[in-house]
Structure 1
Amino acid sequence: MKREFTQGAMAALLAGTCLTFAVPAYAADAAPAADAPAETGAIIVTARRRSETLQSTPVAISAVSTAMLESRAAANIGDLQGAAPGLLITQQNSGAQAANLSIRGLTYADIEKSQTPTVGVVVDGITIGTNTGQLQDAFDVEQIEVLRGPQGTLFGANTIGGVVNIRRSKPTMRNGAKMEFTYGQWNTWSGKALVNVGNGSTIGAKLWYYHAQSDGYYHNATRNTNAGWSKGDNYGVSVLWKPEGSMFDAQLTLEQSVQSFDPVVSNLTNSSEVFCAFIASRECGRNSTTDVYTTFGLPATSNYHAPAATLEMNFGLASDLKLTSITGWRHQKEAQTQDFDGSSTDLYYVDRRQRYTQVSQELRLAGKVTSNFDYVVGTFFFTSNYNLRQCSRVFGFAPSVAPCTFDTNAQNVYGRTESYALFGDFNWAFMPGFRLSFGGRWSHDNKELTNSFDTSGQVGSGNAGFSKFTPKVGLDWRPDNNTMLYASFSRGYRSGGFSPRAATAATASTPFQPETVDAFEIGAKLNLFDRKLQFNIAGFVSDYKNMQQNTTIPGGPTGNQTITSNVGGASIKGVEMDATLRITDNLKLTATASIMDSHFRGFVVGNACPTVVGLTCPASGIVPYNYSNNNLIYAPKFSGSVNLEHTLPTSFGKVVTNFGWRHISPYDEQISVGASSLSTTGTLITGATVNGNDARVRTVTQDLIDLSATVNFKLSDVDAYVRVFGRNLADVRTTTHAFTVAGLWSFGMGLEPRTYGATLGVKF
């Protein structure tokens, strides 16, 4: 404990004295906010739907540029983990492009499409409605903005933790191209091509193709082969039209993502769990660090197709008034087999087939009433539907029999969501140096869900509506052009719904209710030493109410079922810092830090009564379990980063060297039972107190060291570059996702070990 506190304090001190920036940023569609001074070379962000510089935005936000992603040879947004204060992005193999995103300790690690994220991922203005599909490729990204804290006003429900806003490059309207090839460890390689064509002023098109594949960094000991292989393609076209002499522009983007991968899991089952009695001794009781990279499971494959279309249109109604329309369509088709027990014995193998489609439409008007009052108002509509068919081979001991042949009573789930909202966000510079920001959003969500089985028929069905108003208010003061102080209050809302794994009519038709977060924040943004140092600090307190959590209770054909219910709350508070120090024209230091304290309150749920010799269970089979002593998941007490970038001019171009260190203290990945004490009356079990999560779902301390060197040079009239890189050079080994399953078995997935490679690219 003392050692961890000392490490955190030292890193925080470093962040506060020589800091860098995970740039606090905002951007927009309207004119710059009143009194906002012009900044040469300032970072502009779009997350607040109006044009603001990073340092003039009164909110905690970080901006990650293309250069930062390229210096790390980033494959997807998961490589941002630890780079922005309080941000975690980890991958889980239970779904295609599935991500566990956490900001300020708020997350929900579930890949079922009837469940909604706590952190929104927005791509070119379109919100991705499920955890699957959120782990976006880092290819062709212009800038990523990480907004920390509830973003209910402008982004709506299901952003109680924050938003990762991804902005891809627009067609340049000029002829040009960029091509790149990368090769690395585990026979990992990728090829990228981006071509721009246009007439230079009114019309242009961008075409791209991206392919990546790897043999995987796991080893399957049963089959003596690499495991965790993957192969993916992303391609599309985007057309931008700006009629000459008009205040109108339109951009249409059509794209397709195709992915195949091995959804490998590592066996973490121990002797206290049922499955350990059926598997080989060497496969039971393994650790959650170095052992994670050796697997034993049966072959499995996931195939994923995700076409999408986006149409953005901007109408300039006046010099300071603009109407924006963003229409989005996304579809996901998945077919995945998976050996969930991760052992060489055929105990739990599934075949999941899913389809998901979402359509969204946003209309917003941005402008000014006077020189010191600007606004963004709008409407939003979203609808989605999905269906799941799952065949399960449970205790089949028949690996050659297809799951849908073995399972004559396959599960079917159908879900539908319809949402609409009205929102407004306003800035009023009511006196010199002072600005009041305020707004709100009224949202309504309607959810439907039906559970059924092939032969036993329908389990149950539910239909419910949820409405919420989420306000936000803030005040900022700029005593001079280099200083801004601010304070704000915002409320986040995550809609209710139904339990996709419910196995009785009563639980399937009973909705869980919305959860909310009330967040209070104060902060400062400073430009110091003639703007050579940008230093930003924010403190926050979040009140998390009516939490949605999965619990296991008796019921259904297997005896137990998992349902989502509302329980207790949590208090989260912390301090975040980020800064950039330009030491010389050729040397830049950036740093971030997040110190967070969190705890549950009143987290009591009804769980299935345990079987204990000499004790009896109540007639209902359910007893209250108190989890208030457990840690929140994906909520490290400290995380921070330091990044040093050096540019060396040469006779042939320049050499850019980038060194990065990310420190993440241990965190838990699942609410689970590590140890518990039973409460009894006589021989009757009346309850249990849980004293922490299972140790197998806890990561180790992560010190992730990344290094790259890029040589930029000319080949005739073509810009070329060669980059060598290494990630996780300290070879930290731990899980990115781990799960225990109701006393039956446990499994996990591993963090990418030390890797290295090289990139060759040209652009013209």
Structure 2
Amino acid sequence: AARRGGLTGLFDHPALFGVNADANPDNNRLPYDGRFITKDIDTSYANGNNFNKLKQGGAALTLEYDLSRNATLKSITAYRQLRWKVAMDLDGSPLNFLNTSFPMFQKQFSEELQLTGNALDDRVKYVLGAYYFTESGNMRDFVTFAEGLLQVDGPNNLATRNFAFYGQVDYKVTERLGLTLGGRYTRENKEFEGFQSDLNGLNYKLAQAFGNPDCASLDPISDRCRIDNGFPNPGQPLRYYIAGVQKQTFSNFSPKVGLQYHPGDDVMIFANWSRGYKTGGWTTRLSAPLPYAPTFGPEKAETWEAGVKSTLLARRLQINAASFLTNYKGIQLNFQQGVSPVIQNAGDARIKGFELEMTALAARGLSLTGSVGYTDAYYTNVLAGAAVAPSALQVGVFKGATLPKTPKWKLNFGPRYEAELGGHGTIVLLGDVTYTSAVKNDTEGTYLLMRPANALINASVTYKAPSGNWDVTLGGTNLTDKRLIVTGQAQLAGGPIFGTYNRPAEWYARLGVKF
């Protein structure tokens, strides 16, 4: 399995990659074999494109006008654009085996009008808004497999226009009881045109090799050969995507209801119910030609939450706790289909759990913060097209399986100590440790990409000058140099399983000056 830099774990499944089980390199049967295992996650034999270049900018203008003593109108106008080029030699070898590059351009414009105010002697606070958003852009996928045997070239054009109206009212029913009502209506119009092609015409060459008489000559490619191989566009025999601009329209209303009760001045009990929405779109990478543009639908979520917020012991102790339950419909996840990663609706899922946060002033200058989070996230229903059977390589996707990137437990503890140095300034000692239980790094639950349970430690020391005009900090992150896979992909059709590791132990110094 190719991982960030090195190829580690390849011999776990030697037969998959042509590596002979007797470990004799003279018996390796494929060009992509054990020669490229460095057993070092920070080094590899990759010599293809590896870069990341980003240019972005924008401008924003905020205007406020007081309509009255109790009402304010605000306008927020913004424009943003970015140019991004990224490429990576994912196979970790000197072969042109799995090389990727993605240039992208995007521009956005948004306008928001917001009316805020209060009424009935501050018993009612409200916000009403209208939002307009438009974006357009293009991205080009270029991926070469197996020394160029398959050359995926995928220019894509996309555009979105979004209108939304929202409002929220907070009403103080009594001095102790509050009610929140809100909602947002969204309507989106989307356009997409995909131009993905196989520049090497692999489908046609395979058809010719297997004796298809319509593909006996590939120069030029006959229309009959194009039809035999499922390519949809006359005159464009290499183009996978159906020609023309595809359009989708989405609309949604997401309500919210909340209650807040104050049994005392230092305690608030709350309960909320809300619905949420994520828009749909298109699959921008195909593994084979199709007579239609494959889409995925919107994702919807319904959430219940209840908890308490408190400040106790003369403000020396703060404790917040909450429990939650979210049901997803049409949850969107990234799946590997053939050589292509695609977004699709996996089915329905449920996430439930609780969170507990605490901040305490333990002694003069010493404060302690801590948190505990528990999450149980699993599929309640899996669509037939998203199901993945368990195998020796992967956990699979099925009803009851856990969701990716969602640890069961997450705990954090951070002490902070601040001491005066007798008129010579102040010193601040800060540390934190975060424990995270094991997680899947990909939707299919590839075993080689699993992230084990771990604890990461950071610490710093800061000196503040007596004048308060400058300070200097020395610190370190990931002090135990724990290396973990944070993302990855099982590119089984293309060959390797590859992943990216977190940053190693790092040290830093920072100087701050106030003018």
Q: TM-score range by the shorter chain?
A: 0.7 to 0.9
Contact 1:459 1:504 (C-alpha < 8 Å) held by counterparts:
no
SS in 2 for 1:396: helix
Is the aligned partner of 1:756 residue 2:507? yes
Please tell me the residue identity of whatever aligns with 2:168.
D
Is the aligned partner of 1:532 residue 2:316? yes
Is the aligned partner of 1:641 residue 2:412? yes
Contact 1:666 1:700 (C-alpha < 8 Å) held by counterparts:
yes
CA–CA distance in structure 1, aligned partners of residues 380 and 291 of structure 2? 25
Q: How does 1:279-318 map to 2 (within 5 A)?
A: 279-283=32-36, 291-299=40-48, 300-318=50-68
What's the offset of the Cα at 1:561? Answer: 5.0
SS in 1 for 2:241: strand
Aligned with residue 349 of structure 1, among 99, 105, 123: 99
Contact 1:551 1:606 (C-alpha < 8 Å) held by counterparts:
no
Contact 1:669 1:697 (C-alpha < 8 Å) held by counterparts:
yes
Distance 1:742 1:446, change over 3 A: farther
Name 2:283's counterpart in structure 1: 499
What's the offset of the Cα at 1:414? Answer: 0.8
Aligned with residue 697 of structure 1, among 444, 449, 461: 449
The higher relative CO (CA closer than 8 Å, separation ≥ 6) is in: 1
1:644-675 CA-partner distances (Å, limit 9, x unpaired): 11111012110011011111111111012xxx
Aligned with residue 473 of structure 2, among 723, 737, 742: 723
Name 1:669's counterpart in structure 2: 441
Please tell me the residue identity of whatever aligns with 1:570.
A
SS in 2 for 1:278: coil
Name 2:262's counterpart in structure 1: 478
Contact 1:328 1:361 (C-alpha < 8 Å) held by counterparts:
yes
Is the aligned partner of 1:463 residue 2:243? no
Name 1:438's counterpart in structure 2: 181
What's the offset of the Cα at 1:520? Answer: 0.4
CA–CA distance in structure 2, aligned partners of residues 470 and 372 of structure 1? 25
Aligned with residue 401 of structure 2, among 630, 636, 659: 630
Q: How does 1:519-668 map to 2 (within 5 A)?
A: 519-553=303-337, 562-606=341-385, 627-650=398-421, 651-668=423-440
Contact 1:553 1:607 (C-alpha < 8 Å) held by counterparts:
no
SS in 2 for 1:444: strand
What number of residue pairs does the alignment pair up? 451
Distance 1:628 1:653, change over 3 A: same
What's the offset of the Cα at 1:443? Answer: 0.5
Contact 2:306 2:324 (C-alpha < 8 Å) held by counterparts:
yes
Please tell me the residue identity of whatever aligns with 1:476.
Q
Name 1:323's counterpart in structure 2: 73
Can you give the 5+ residue segments of structure 1 that lack an aligned partner in the other structure?
1-220, 222-262, 399-405, 555-559, 613-624, 673-692
Is the aligned partner of 1:396 residue 2:139? no
Pairwise CA RMSD: 2.8
Name 1:747's counterpart in structure 2: 498
Aligned with residue 363 of structure 1, among 113, 127, 133: 113
CA–CA distance in structure 2, aligned partners of residues 728 and 535 of structure 1? 28
What's the offset of the Cα at 1:273? Answer: 4.2
CA–CA distance in structure 1, aligned partners of residues 148 and 284 of structure 2? 27
Name 1:238's counterpart in structure 2: none
What's the offset of the Cα at 1:295? Answer: 2.6
Contact 2:116 2:126 (C-alpha < 8 Å) held by counterparts:
yes
Name 1:490's counterpart in structure 2: 274
CA–CA distance in structure 2, aligned partners of residues 747 and 739 of structure 1? 6
CA–CA distance in structure 2, aligned partners of residues 507 and 377 of structure 1? 45
What's the offset of the Cα at 1:465? Answer: 0.3
What's the offset of the Cα at 1:629? Answer: 4.4
CA–CA distance in structure 2, aligned partners of residues 280 and 661 of structure 1? 40
Distance 1:718 1:528, change over 3 A: closer
What's the offset of the Cα at 1:506? Answer: 4.6
Name 1:427's counterpart in structure 2: 170
Distance 1:656 1:600, change over 3 A: same
Please tell me the residue identity of whatever aligns with 1:341.
D
Please tell me the residue identity of whatever aligns with 1:278.
P
Q: How does 1:224-263 map to 2 (within 5 A)?
A: none
SS in 1 for 2:14: coil
Aligned with residue 379 of structure 1, among 130, 133, 153: 130
Distance 1:463 1:275, change over 3 A: farther
1:148-189 CA-partner distances (Å, limit 9, x unpaired): xxxxxxxxxxxxxxxxxxxxxxxxxxxxxxxxxxxxxxxxxx
**TM-score, scaled to structure 2:** 0.81
Please tell me the residue identity of whatever aligns with 2:298.
P
CA–CA distance in structure 1, aligned partners of residues 304 and 18 of structure 2? 46
CA–CA distance in structure 2, aligned partners of residues 609 and 521 of structure 1? 32
CA–CA distance in structure 2, aligned partners of residues 741 and 296 of structure 1? 18
Q: How does 1:36-435 map to 2 (within 5 A)?
A: 266-267=6-7, 270-271=13-14, 273-274=16-17, 277-283=30-36, 291-299=40-48, 300-370=50-120, 371-396=122-147, 410-435=153-178
Is the aligned partner of 1:733 residue 2:483? yes
CA–CA distance in structure 1, aligned partners of residues 512 and 299 of structure 2? 47
Distance 1:285 1:752, change over 3 A: closer
Contact 2:62 2:76 (C-alpha < 8 Å) held by counterparts:
yes
CA–CA distance in structure 2, aligned partners of residues 663 and 738 of structure 1? 21
CA–CA distance in structure 2, aligned partners of residues 310 and 296 of structure 1? 45
Contact 2:397 2:443 (C-alpha < 8 Å) held by counterparts:
no
Contact 2:115 2:129 (C-alpha < 8 Å) held by counterparts:
yes
Can you give the 5+ residue segments of structure 2 that lack an aligned partner in the other structure?
20-29, 198-235
1:472-509 CA-partner distances (Å, limit 9, x unpaired): 00111002110100111011100111111135675752
Please tell me the residue identity of whatever aligns with 2:46.
G
Contact 1:448 1:498 (C-alpha < 8 Å) held by counterparts:
no
Name 1:451's counterpart in structure 2: 194
SS in 2 for 1:509: coil
Please tell me the residue identity of whatever aligns with 2:181.
F
Distance 1:426 1:266, change over 3 A: farther
CA–CA distance in structure 2, aligned partners of residues 658 and 323 of structure 1? 42
Distance 1:275 1:529, change over 3 A: farther
Please tell me the residue identity of whatever aligns with 1:296.
Y
Contact 1:264 1:297 (C-alpha < 8 Å) held by counterparts:
no
CA–CA distance in structure 2, aligned partners of residues 702 and 694 of structure 1? 18
Contact 1:713 1:720 (C-alpha < 8 Å) held by counterparts:
yes
CA–CA distance in structure 1, aligned partners of residues 192 and 288 of structure 2? 13
Distance 1:453 1:397, change over 3 A: closer
What's the offset of the Cα at 1:350? Answer: 2.6
What's the offset of the Cα at 1:394? Answer: 2.3
- When Rg is computed on C-alpha atoms for both structures, the one with the higher figure is 2
Contact 2:154 2:285 (C-alpha < 8 Å) held by counterparts:
no
1:266-290 CA-partner distances (Å, limit 9, x unpaired): 546553645874324153596xxxx
